[in-house]
């Protein structure tokens, strides 16, 4: 029987490994932002040396980037280097769940330990929930593995106490989990609550000393291993809760002033995925709506949960180790309940994966054990458990490898556009430089990490990020033009930086210093190709013609820039400087107009007035704001003196702000010739 179990677990591990490597890394295609962010963190290690924390995506723990740094060194800057560690971690989790389950059952004094272990390992191996994360380069995939190892050595430590070796290993794996993923910070509660329950079942002085000593050993060793991270958070406390505070259910933005209702809704949605009723809707990590446990397996999970609770709290026999499972499951529900966004959130629930499939397996073992008691039903008791897992394996394969890619647009979730753009940049001729405008509000951590990772070895680098404000726009374009004959500017159409150039600073500088030679359209972005003009300086003009026009004591037009002449079929650059005199109640718009000698309007540009940090006029601080506009001059515009006018108006009512009794203020004349 022992040899058979070893052969079966080996086959299960091989099946898990095959499922996690099949068509990897091509499915899923591309690279998700978080995967590439892990790659960028790994590159920081390889380039600059050891680090303990990254502020990417709200905070990134260090263990996964160090693993990625190793695979990147071996394999190079390719997607497989980011995803192979996840496949290996997922496979090792299957291997770790087996001995943990066997120990739980045996240490509880029960039979069928190997059967339960084989079923639990099989469940993890063919789980679509686990398979998704085993093929993504997300650090969270380490949590089920490290938590299972920590639980195993904790249980062994209780058995071998007062020997401390197993407790050292349990604390070590717990610390590694905390060095991996935010949700793991709650895992130390699992052994501590379990020890408390053991004491409460036998509340005497000797038991109190024993459990206190065990708790102190486990917690003390865990804190000791976590000391570098503790010191870091003591120095930078804002990083400790940066991400969790933003998504917390206690944040009014999420609970909308009704915390009990928000908790109940999140709890109900979260539990529904374990009942087979609904699943994570995010196509990044799931076939949208597919529950973590299929509905037809949910009864086995519920049976296992009820049975372990009953046995764990029973005073008959040595059954308490099974109580670790429901404690573990409940504690690791908390990350998903305390952060209601996207419930049921399979990523935040990944800490429950181990106990979930062990409980499911135990429920099946208990049911088939009951069926197998009569002699005539004994064969059914042996065969029945295999059938649901065979069905689950077939459904998982179909769900992941057939239905998910057929029904999901991977363009944005997996940055397919960035992978394509990286290929274009890599193949571009040396005289070409790419410009990637960034929304100034996003900060430097909002770079395109897919580009940074895939192009890390490109020398010299042929793309520049441009966080768009007046100083950056001039400096970056000037630097790029100094080393390139051709500038390819990425214009985002569906990316987080879609409003990067909402004030048209980059457009203004390019229109006045370069010639547009090509425009291409792709999903998520367009590319405009420019050739710098001879002598181009990429300098914004001085807005130095005084105006001193006041709009209803709210806004003052201080100065204007207007060229003396322009040609038909070109653009006319205009700039104005505005200063708020009082708080405005609306985000006013400006309308720049070109009027021909007969009084007819031949060109017009309307745009919301924006501060350099994109605040509308209602949020402007008391400081001057420069606005830049391009007016398209018709190719057939006859020669003559044209007038440029300005109207400031309410965005909803369209009512203009009046200045000196006029709604349309002349800024000056320009010669079209």
pLDDT tens for 236-285 read 998 888 777 778 898 888 888 889 999 999 999 999 999 999 999 999 99
What SS3 state is found at 134?
A: helix
DSSP tag of 637 = P
CATH architecture of 545-672: Sandwich (2.60)
pLDDT at 618: 93
Residue corresponding to tokens 């029904």: 407
Q: What is the mean pLDDT of residues 121-137?
A: 97
What SS3 state is found at 249?
A: coil
| pLDDT exceeds 70 at position 319 | no
pLDDT at 256: 87
| pLDDT exceeds 60 at position 371 | no
| pLDDT exceeds 80 at position 388 | yes
- Peptide bond connecting 413 to the previous residue in cis, omega within 30 degrees of 0: no
pLDDT at 383: 60
Are 301 and 360 spatial neighbours (Cβ–Cβ below 8 Å)? yes
Q: Phi/psi of residue 35, each to 5°?
A: -60, -50
Distances (CA, A) of 393 to 120, 126, 283, 461, 605: 13, 5, 20, 46, 60
Strands 514-521 and 486-492 turn out to be unpaired
pLDDT at 376: 44
pLDDT in tens, 71-117: 999 999 999 999 999 999 999 999 999 999 999 999 888 788 999 99
Q: What is the mean pLDDT of residues 201-218?
A: 91
Identify the bridge partners of residue 463 per DSSP, sorted by sequence position.
434
pLDDT at 58: 79
| pLDDT exceeds 50 at position 375 | no
pLDDT at 201: 82
What SS3 state is found at 390?
A: helix
Give every strand in the sheet of 565-566, ordered side by side.
565-566, 665-672, 640-649, 589-595, 601-608
- Residue range(s) in the chain whose domain bears CATH number 2.60.40.2550: 545-672
pLDDT at 84: 98
pLDDT at 266: 95
| pLDDT exceeds 60 at position 294 | yes
Radius of gyration of the chain (CA): 32
pLDDT at 377: 41
| pLDDT exceeds 50 at position 369 | yes
- Residue range(s) in the chain whose domain bears CATH number 3.40.190: 416-532
pLDDT at 1: 61
Q: Where are the beta strands (DSSP E) in 439-567?
A: 463-467, 486-492, 514-521, 525-532, 545-551, 555-561, 565-566
pLDDT in tens, 5-33: 899 999 999 999 999 999 999 999 999 99
CATH number of 416-532: 3.40.190
User: pTM for this structure?
Assistant: 0.90
pLDDT in tens, 429-484: 999 999 999 999 887 678 899 999 999 998 888 999 999 999 999 999 999 999 89
Of the chain, the percentage scoring pLDDT greater than 90 comes to 82
pLDDT at 318: 52
């Amino acid at each position: 029987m022992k040899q058979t179990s070893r052969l079966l677990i080996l086959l299960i591990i091989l099946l898990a490994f095959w499922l996690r490597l099949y068509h990897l890394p091509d499915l899923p295609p591309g690279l998700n932002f978080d995967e590439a962010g892990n790659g960028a963190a790994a590159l920081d290690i390889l380039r600059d040396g050891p680090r303990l924390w990254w502020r990417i995506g709200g905070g990134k723990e260090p263990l996964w980037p160090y693993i990625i740094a190793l695979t990147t060194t071996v394999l190079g800057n390719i997607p497989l280097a980011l995803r192979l560690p996840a496949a290996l971690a997922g496979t090792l989790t299957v291997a770790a769940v087996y001995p943990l389950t066997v120990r739980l059952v045996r240490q509880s004094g029960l039979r069928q330990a190997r059967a339960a272990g084989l079923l639990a390992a099989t469940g993890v191996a063919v789980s679509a929930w686990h398979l998704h994360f085993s093929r993504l380069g997300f650090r969270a995939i380490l949590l089920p593995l490290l938590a299972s190892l920590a639980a195993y050595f904790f249980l062994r430590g209780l058995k071998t106490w007062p020997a401390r070796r197993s407790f050292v290993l349990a604390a070590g794996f717990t610390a590694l989990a905390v060095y991996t993923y935010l949700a793991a910070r709650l895992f130390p509660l699992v052994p501590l609550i379990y020890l408390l329950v053991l004491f409460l079942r036998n509340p005497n002085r000797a038991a109190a000393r024993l459990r206190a000593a065990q708790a102190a050993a486990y917690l003390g060793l865990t804190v000791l291993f976590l000391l570098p991270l503790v010191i870091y958070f003591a120095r930078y406390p804002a990083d400790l809760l940066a991400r969790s505070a933003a998504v917390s259910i206690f944040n009014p933005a999420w609970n909308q002033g009704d915390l009990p209702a928000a908790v109940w809704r999140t709890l109900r949605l979260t539990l529904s995925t374990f009942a087979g009723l609904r699943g994570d809707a995010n196509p990044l990590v799931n076939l949208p709506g597919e529950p973590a446990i299929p509905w037809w397996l949910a009864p086995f999970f519920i049976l296992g949960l009820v049975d372990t609770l009953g046995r764990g709290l029973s005073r008959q026999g040595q059954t308490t180790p099974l109580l670790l499972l429901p404690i573990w499951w409940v504690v690791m529900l908390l990350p998903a309940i305390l952060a209601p966004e996207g419930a049921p959130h399979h990523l935040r629930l990944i800490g429950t994966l181990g106990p979930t499939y062990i409980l499911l397996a135990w429920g099946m073992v208990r049911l088939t054990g009951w069926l197998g008691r009569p002699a005539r039903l004994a064969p059914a008791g042996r065969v029945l458990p295999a059938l649901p897992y065979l069905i689950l394996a077939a459904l998982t394969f179909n769900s992941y490898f057939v239905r998910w890619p057929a029904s999901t647009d991977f363009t944005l979730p997996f940055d397919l556009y960035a992978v394509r753009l990286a290929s274009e940049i890599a193949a571009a001729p040396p005289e070409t430089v790419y410009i990637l405008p960034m929304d100034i509000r996003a900060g430097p951590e909002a770079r395109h990490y897919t580009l940074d990772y895939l192009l890390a070895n490109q020398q010299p680098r042929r793309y520049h990020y441009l966080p768009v404000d007046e100083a950056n726009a001039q400096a970056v374009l000037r630097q790029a033009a100094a080393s390139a004959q051709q500038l390819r500017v990425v214009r985002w159409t569906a990316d987080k930086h879609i409003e990067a150039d909402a004030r048209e600073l980059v457009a203004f500088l390019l229109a006045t210093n370069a010639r547009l030679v090509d425009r291409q359209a792709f999903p998520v972005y367009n590319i405009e190709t420019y050739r710098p003009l001879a002598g181009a300086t990429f300098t914004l003009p001085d807005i130095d013609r005084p105006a001193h026009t006041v709009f209803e004591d709210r806004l003052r037009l201080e100065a204007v820039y207007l060229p003396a002449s322009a040609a038909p079929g070109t653009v006319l650059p205009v700039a104005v400087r505005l200063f708020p005199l009082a708080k405005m109640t609306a985000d006013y718009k400006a309308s720049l107009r070109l009027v021909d000698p007969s009084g007819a309007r031949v060109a017009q540009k309307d745009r919301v007035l924006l501060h350099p940090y994109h605040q509308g006029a209602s949020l402007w601080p008391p400081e001057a704001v420069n606005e830049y506009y391009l007016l398209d001059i018709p190719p057939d515009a006859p020669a003559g003196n044209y007038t440029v006018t300005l109207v400031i108006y309410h965005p909803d009512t369209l009512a203009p702000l009046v200045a000196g009794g006029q709604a349309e203020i002349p800024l000056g004349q320009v010669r079209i010739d």
